[in-house]
Structure formats: C-alpha cells, structure tokens
Structure 1
Amino acid sequence: MAERNSSVTEFILAGLTDQPELQLPLFLIFLAIYLFTVLGNLGMIILILLSSHLHTPMYFFLSSLSFIDLCYSTVITPKMLVNFVSEKNIITYQECMTQLYFFISFVISECHMLAAMAYDRYIAICNPLLYNVTMSYQVCSWMVVGVYGMGIIGAAVHTLCMLGVVFCKANIINHYFCDLFPLMELACSSTYVNEVVLLCLSTFNIFIPTLTILGSYIFIIACILRIKSTEGRFKAFSTCSSHFSAVAVFFGSLAFMYLQPFSVNSKDKGKVSSVFYTTIVPMLNPMIYSLRNRDVKLALNKFFQKT
C-alpha cells in the first residue's frame, strides 16, 4: 500500500532545532530525561509487582499507566536523540507509519487510563463500602482491556487514513517524530478526510476522558466537603492530588496541540507542546505518584530495607 500511494520512500526529521550549538546540550538533556523515564516507570511497575500491599485497583491502574508512559516515550525519544548526533535523521516510510501508529495508540490509551483512574478514586472516596465489589479484579481487567482497545482502534483509523495520503515531492518533516500535522503538511493529495477524522477522534478521546475526570472530581469534592474532620479531608485530597496534577499537564498540552484547526496550528508551538506530552509527562508521572503517595514511599522503604 505504501508503494502505491506514495513516491516518497523515506522522510527526513528536522528535529527540535537547526542550531548546531544547541545539539549537544539538548542531546544530554533529553538523554537524561529518557533515562529517568525508563528507570522511574520501570521501577514503579516492579515495585507494584513486588509489594503485596500495593496489589489494589488504584496501583493496578498506576502500573498500567507507567507501562504506557514507558512505551510511548520509547517510541519517540530514541529517534529524537539520533537527530541530535547525526546530520540527517532519516526514517523510512514504513518506519514512519509504524511510529505514528504506536505513538497514537499509546497516547489515546493514556487519555482513557487517566479517566479510569479518576473513576477508581471516585468509587474509593464516594462509595468506599462498595469499593471491593465495584472495582473487582475482573472489572479492572476489562477496563484496562477497553483502554488499550480504544488506543488500538483509534491508531488504526488514523494510520489507515494517513496511508491513503500521497507524498510525492517534499520529504522533510518539520518535527522530531512522525506526527499527524507535520505529515499532512507534506501531502500532495487532499487531507480533508484526515482533518475531519483527526478533529472527531481527538474530540472524542480528549473530551470524553476529560468529562469523566471532571465529573468524578465534582462528586469527589462534594464528598470531601461533607467530611467533618480536617485530617480526613486532607487524607482524601492527598489521594487525588497526584492524579489531578498528572491530568492537568497531560491534557493541557494535548488539547493545545490537537484541538485546533489544521490551518492555525503553529509549528514551533506544536513542537513545544509535543515535548511536554511525549517526554516530560512520562518522566513526571512516576515522580508525582511516588513523592506524593504515602503507600509508595512505604513500599520503597521496605524494598530498600530488604535489599
């Protein structure tokens, strides 16, 4: 299909900057960020697996979130690092479409995973007596399957639409990875269908999780305000603060990038926004959940004492 629809067999990724003096500093910065991302998310997954008191729905979702962060950061960052140390960062058409598919799949999955985690917090705070029944292992497993299913289907639709686009002359992608907007800028054929699909699916995959999260937090705040003790309120707020911080950073940068018409999308602003949700957020999530979570701190202390 790729050969029939396009005469371009490879693309060149322009990267974050074309200034030579910034290449090495940026390489070192993003290498450090990627190492922290891998260690943090992999460490979180291993810690949850090894700590029996973390075998709860909340940490089951958190381990899935860490897996998603680890995967989509790995899809993007290594190729970006190559761009800093090579004259031309070449990516073949097939590799570009593969990167696009997995990137979209994991990003959509993260949107819905954050919504599932918000629902879990809603049940835990507003219906604690029914928590073990409502959030059983079977229910949590099906929710995670649904989250990944949303990502796989959404990515397949976007990628199939992109495979129908003809690339005939220009092959320099003004980005550090194969994303939808930069690819559509190079198209020789009409991208109207791609733009409509992008706007519709982006609206669904951003607004539906956002509404779920906002609805959950409205009920959570209402329940917390009915708690009489100050200590009880603080404890309830602390269980949600880390999740809310992760949601604000991720959805803010994602909405800025994709919930605007193709014609007004700024290339430089798009790159900055992409850096946040492809590299910064996957690094911050394990830090947010570990530094602001008493159970994780306790598990870490026990783990270090054993070792």
Structure 2
Amino acid sequence: MARRKKGLPIDGWLVVDKPQGMTSAQVVSKARWALRAQKAGHAGTLDPLATGVLAVAFGEATKTVPYVTDALKAYAFTVRWGASTTTDDAEGEVIARSDLRPDRAAIEAALPDFEGEIMQTPPAFSAVKVDGERAYDLARAGEQVALAPRPLWVESLTLTDIPDPDHAVFEMVCGKGGYVRAIARDLGRVLGCGGHVTQLRRIWAGPFELADAVSIEALEAMRDDPDAAARLLPVEAGLSGLEEIPVTAEGAGRLRAGQPAPALRADAEYGDAVWASHDGRAVAIGVYKGGQVHPNRVFAAD
C-alpha cells in the first residue's frame, strides 16, 4: 500500500524576499510549512549572507524550476576593498590586507574584462562537489580546495556608487552558476587591493522580481490564512523564457500520454524547447519538431 503524501497538493510559485542569515533550504521549509504543501523547491540558491528574490515552487511548478534556474538573474552588491577573506565575503577570516584603494576610473576600467563569456573559479566555500563532497565541507575541515574555472555569461557589470573609499556598489546581470563573491575577489585581485562582498541582494531572477516578493514575516502569517494558496503565481510563470505552443484538447491528451501532438500555431524553430498549453494552462514541456510538440515533462490535469 502506497504511503499517503503529507500536506496539500498545492501548485504554483511564491517569491520570497529571503532575509539575511537564513539558508535557501530553510526558506523553502518555512514556505512549505506555511502553506501546508506536499512538495516545494526553489530556483537558484542564495548564500545565507544574501537577501532578495528566492522563487519557491510548489507541486507541479517544481517541474519548471530548471527553466528559472537557467534564466538570467540580477544582483546588487557591495564590495569592501583592502581585505581578502577565506570565504570571499564578510563572514570569513581576513587572509590579506592592503592600504591601496582604487578610484572610479580604475574600477570602471577593470569592468569590461568581467563582462561577456568569462571563466570564473568558484569560491572555496561553495556547494561545488569535489570527489563527491561539497567544497565548503572540505574547506571547513581545513583542506586546500582547488576548483577548476568554469564558463559564466555576464550580461552586464555596472559600478553604481562609491559611498566611501573603502566600498563600491555594483549591479550585475549574469547567467546560471555565477558567484558574486568570486567577482568581488577577482576584481580586488585585478585592482591590486583585495576585496570581498559585504552586502548582496538578488533583485530579480528570470520572470520574478522583488515587487512580487513577500517578507518572511508575511510568509509565516500565511499559516493562518485559509486563502494563502490563492496568492501564488501560476505554474506557467516559470515558463516565461520558453515559447508557448497551444494545442487542442485531443492534443493535450496525447501529450499527457507521452505522445507528440500537433501545434495549433508556432513561431518556434525545429529543436526549440517549448511548452504546450490548452486553454492557457500548461500541459507539457517539450521540444518542437516538424509542427509537433514532443513532450519530456508532463503536467497533471486539473
């Protein structure tokens, strides 16, 4: 006899303004508790130091998480010059100091090398796996962690403020897998003064923005709100980066059975990732080939 799942079968997205000091997993657990949901996950981990947009997916929306994780994201962050740390942020131990402070011209001259397709080495204190273990576990145990550089797309990196000689504020838009802490570390190295992140805030992630977000206090209050689920964004909100392909009711049935279905209309090209809809509701995510949607993820019927 199959075990009954605990919680309610809730589907949709909730954007939380993650507070400093909480892990992304703790926010997801809190969200699942607040809505009494069976299943929840998130799109794009934020460090405990970081705040801002954390998109939490419930139920069927978890099937769209990879498409939000892969989307561009924007960050506002502050770098403190003159000190390098073990973690590349303010929580680590200082391992080097410098009296040098870069001026605006020097900072702006360095930024173009951090835009476009770059190679970035993740921080030693990161979730990257090394021989099956997390790098941060090895680093905390005192082991030397040598991580390989990996490609990262940086759409833009802009200096927005210099509040004092010790600090500079930036905004960055980047693709999946970017570490803001590594940007601060590497900028400090290029400028010859060292640097680390003191504040970090994600201001949007794919289709989700701070304007959509609820505070952790508002999230906790949802526990006593019988209509809390009505505040969720639809499952389809996580698919804004893919083209929508409408299908007939018969086509929706075929897709849910794992079979291709003809598109009613499409501007997609052969091989594009798309999502199929019927009456505006997501039916499947798949690949567009020869006028048909070939499903690889299917959504449950209402």
Normalising to structure 2: TM-score of the pair? 0.22
Bigger Rg, structure 1 or 2: 2
Normalising to structure 1: TM-score of the pair? 0.22
Judging by fraction of residues, say which structure has more strand. 2
Judging by fraction of residues, say which structure has more helix. 1
